[in-house]
Chain A
Amino acid sequence: MPVLELKDGSIELDEDGYLKKFDQWTEEVGRVLAERDGIDLEEEHMKVIAIIREFYGKHQVSPMLTLVSKESGNSYKDLHKLFGKQPGKRAGKIAGLPKSTGCA
């Protein structure tokens, strides 16, 4: 199984590189996951991640990009600049959500 190396220890990821447990996420975990995708997390990224995590915590499903865009005040183009191709999927992975259902 792949592992994520952190400053103190490491955590297991699933075969697709997603966090196995939502509660294992910390800012450090987020940063290391983001680095794997060539992203340096800054304040705006963290704002989006917080929205996604709060939604998932309540509903056990990832939020639609429409909602993330509205709540974070970022247009689709902004989200694309922050997280790259398929921003919803990538942001969700960095936010520690498990791999979603559907054509994911």
Chain B
Amino acid sequence: MLAENQAIRLDEIEATPLRDVLINESDWQANLNYCQNCGKCLSVCPLHGYSEWDPRRAVRMVLLGMEKEVIDSDFIFQCTTCDRCTLVCPMGVRIGSLVTRARSMRKREDVPGGSQKTADLHRTIGNNMQIPTDEWIETIDWMKEEVQDDIPDLDFPIDKQGADFFITINSKLPQYYPMELQCIYKIFHAAGVSWTMPSIWWEGTNYAMFAGDLDTWEYTLRQQVKRVEELGCKYMAYTECGHGYYATMAGYKKFGIKPKFEVIHKVNLYAKWLKEGRFKLDPSRNPQRVTLHDPCNAGRKAVLEGFADIMEDSRYVLRHVCPDFVEMWPNRENGYCCSGGGGALISGFAKARFHYGEVKVDQIDRTEAQLVCTPCVNCFDAIDDLAKEYQRPWKAIHLWALLANALVFEKS
């Protein structure tokens, strides 16, 4: 660390692998040389004000060869990689990419919290909660039996060869709240499409990206692609997860993976099927006031990267299933992070999260909503954590829960 007023001697700067990568890696579009030092990035950063760190500081330090401090800082793991900084940068500097790349240069054992362990589990067993295949299948079947009490003709196979849709699921669902699987079953059944629940490589998250473990990020993507292609499915219906969807779409681009199927986020599917008239709905079943949180990874960051986002489709569905839907402000690309992005939920920096989560709390309060629709599992937890920390009565709900609740099934 430099002493105060100590000059930086450019001829004494050590090797700068982070800067070298960020200036030369064209697919990340993180050309730091374009930084104008204007400070727009720090003015929109949720973390700004929490410590002496902010995005501009990180960029300037890397440019000046002080990257070791950036790589060793808590900042890069407190950062939720929301990319609000990238959105407003007048020169298009990809500051979020700087953070991810800096994380990749930490030693694996120095990654704080549980992201690396989660990535390791995902790599070895195909899901990040260490759920064995037989227990996963038992849970799928258990939830199927429960929903068949009301909808006896609902059925689906596991690992069906040639099914149109391969479903991905966040492993948190079967582990902690498998009931929500029933919502997904109901929606796909109502849509009348051919679908299957995979027995392996069904995980719809990618904590390797959060941990900066580029090798495991690529490996898990390729294993999943292999499984989808083995089953011959046309589409991968991506679960309501922000970062998993982003890690998949951006990861395919980054690692040159060209799958033989199309990835579609479930929210985009709900909207498509709704427009096609596949659902019979009774929105009066969702009488509470609902607002919408736009997950950064499936919203702003999808737009920045150039793949399909879920922002308009989320609203389209909500307008049809909730009679009292109100917007937060600002929203869409200009929305605020839930406070749990970028692996922040398990990095161990809860104080930082609750500091910048205050902005989100204020946003939600102003809507007077009882429910916060969060089509992302991490956002779901982050919003509930904020409600508990700030003692608010509102709570998070998935879009699949609101849609499934409004679905009307004819009694046979």
Q: Do A and B come from one complex?
A: yes
Cα separation A64 to B176 with both chains bound (whole Å): 7
- Taking a contact as CB atoms under 8 Å apart, the answer to whether B135 and A67 are in contact is yes
Count of interface residues, chain A, beta-carbon cutoff 8 Å: 25
Q: Does A65 contact B (CB under 8 A)?
A: yes
- Taking a contact as CB atoms under 8 Å apart, the answer to whether A66 and B138 are in contact is yes
CB distance from B359 to the nearest CB of A (A): 20
Cα separation A92 to B179 with both chains bound (whole Å): 17
Q: Does B195 contact A (CB under 8 A)?
A: no
- Taking a contact as CB atoms under 8 Å apart, the answer to whether B135 and A104 are in contact is no
Cα separation A99 to B117 with both chains bound (whole Å): 12
Chain B residues near A15 (CB-CB < 8 A):
348-351
Q: Does B148 contact A (CB under 8 A)?
A: no
Cα separation A86 to B241 with both chains bound (whole Å): 17
- Taking a contact as CB atoms under 8 Å apart, the answer to whether A86 and B177 are in contact is yes
Q: 8 Å CB contacts to B: which residues of A50-65?
A: 61-62, 64-65
Count class of interface residues, chain B: 35 or more
Query: A62 — nearest CB in chain B belongs to which residue?
Result: B175
**CB < 8 Å neighbour of B135 from A16, A66, A102:** A66
Q: Does B129 contact A (CB under 8 A)?
A: yes
Q: A15-B348, A16-B350, A67-B135 are in contact. Are A88 and B175 (CB under 8 A)?
A: yes
B351-363 vs A: 1/0 string, CB under 8 Å?
A: 1000000000000
Cα separation A86 to B388 with both chains bound (whole Å): 14
Query: B178 — nearest CB in chain A belongs to which residue?
Result: A65
Cα separation A102 to B203 with both chains bound (whole Å): 10
Chain B residues near A89 (CB-CB < 8 A):
172, 176-177
Q: Does A26 contact B (CB under 8 A)?
A: no
Cα separation A92 to B351 with both chains bound (whole Å): 22
Chain B residues near A61 (CB-CB < 8 A):
129-130
- Taking a contact as CB atoms under 8 Å apart, the answer to whether A103 and B377 are in contact is yes
- Taking a contact as CB atoms under 8 Å apart, the answer to whether A102 and B178 are in contact is no
Q: Does B34 contact A (CB under 8 A)?
A: no
Chain B residues near A16 (CB-CB < 8 A):
348, 350
Give the number of residue pairs across the A-B interface with Cβ within 8 Å. 90
Q: A66-B135, A66-B139 are in contact. Are A101 and B346 (CB under 8 A)?
A: yes
- Taking a contact as CB atoms under 8 Å apart, the answer to whether A64 and B135 are in contact is yes
Q: A64-B174, A103-B170 are in contact. Are A14 and B142 (CB under 8 A)?
A: no
Q: Which of A14, A80, A104 has the most CB of B within 10 A?
A: A104
- Taking a contact as CB atoms under 8 Å apart, the answer to whether B171 and A103 are in contact is yes
Q: Does A81 contact B (CB under 8 A)?
A: no
Chain B residues near A17 (CB-CB < 8 A):
350
Q: Does B201 contact A (CB under 8 A)?
A: no
Q: Does B297 contact A (CB under 8 A)?
A: no
Q: 8 Å CB contacts to A: which residues of B96-134?
A: 114, 117-118, 121, 128-131
**CB < 8 Å neighbour of B179 from A62, A67, A76, A104:** A76
- Taking a contact as CB atoms under 8 Å apart, the answer to whether A103 and B378 are in contact is yes
Give 9 A-B pairs besides A61-B129, A102-B129 with Cβ atoms closer than 8 angstroms: A61-B130, A62-B175, A64-B139, A65-B139, A65-B174, A100-B175, A101-B207, A102-B170, A103-B128
Q: Which B residues lie at the A interface, using CB under 8 A?
A: 114, 117-118, 121, 128-131, 135, 138-139, 142, 146, 170-172, 174-179, 205, 207, 241, 345-346, 348-351, 377-378, 381, 384, 395
Q: List 13 A-B contacts (CB under 8 A).
A: A14-B348, A16-B350, A65-B176, A66-B138, A85-B395, A86-B176, A87-B177, A101-B114, A101-B129, A102-B346, A103-B128, A103-B205, A104-B114
Q: Which A residues lie at the B interface, using CB under 8 A?
A: 14-17, 61-62, 64-67, 69, 76, 80, 85-89, 92, 99-104
